[in-house]
Amino acid sequence: MPVVAGARPAGATAATGTGEAGGDGEAEAAGGVAGPGAPAVAAGDGAARADAEPVERSSLDDFRGFGRRHAWPAALLAIFLLSLAGIPPLAGFWGKYYLFQAGIDAGLAWLVVVAVISSVISAFFYLRVIAVMFLDEPAGAAAPVSRSRALGLALAIAGVLTVAIGLAPQVLVSAAEAASRILG
């Protein structure tokens, strides 16, 4: 099923907009700012003008050579996908860590094992997308890139936050604990 850039059906991955790249909903939820960042990068590679037709993303082939054509958006997409995979020192690692720790504390070790296995499987799919973006030759003519300053700024902020939260997660954890005490 063809997918318009930026729109994803339920169960679709952030990377390709289809179910092809695999992934688990838990990884997207734990990704923090990376969750919405990955499809935003893919959408940003779409039409250059607001009135132009959107570019369809229906297979992994659409990302072949993306890193060679558009280095910065591809680097951001790689950061977001690595965070969704739970690779340290990115925000997604800490999201998964705290999620898994809460499951163990609740006595749901069997569920944590299932989540860890699905996270490992999804990491292979995310790494496949990254490899295709940077190691494969571009397929066909390059699609025009959106030059939206707002999108570029939003993606840059999301990328910085994904790395910053990964490097200093205690800042957010302390703020959440303080809010929890205040709110009861």
> What are the domain boundaries of the chain?
19-183
Three-state secondary structure call for residue 4: strand
Alpha helices in the chain (DSSP H): 25-30, 34-44, 66-69, 71-85, 91-105, 109-135, 149-167, 169-183
pLDDT at 3: 35
Query: 54 and 4 in contact (C-beta within 8 Å)?
Result: yes
Query: 35 and 126 in contact (C-beta within 8 Å)?
Result: no
Which residues of the chain are under the pLDDT cut of 50? 1-31, 46-49
pLDDT at 54: 62
78: tokens are 């790689």
16: tokens are 């390709």
Burial label for 20, CB within 10 Å (0-12, 13-18, 19+), is middle
120: tokens are 């490992």
CA–CA separation, 4 and 94 (whole Å): 31
Radius of gyration for the chain, computed over Cα atoms and rounded to the nearest angstrom? 17
47 contacts: CB under 8 Å, gap ≥ 6: 53, 54, 55, 144, 146
Three-state secondary structure call for residue 56: strand
pLDDT at 43: 57
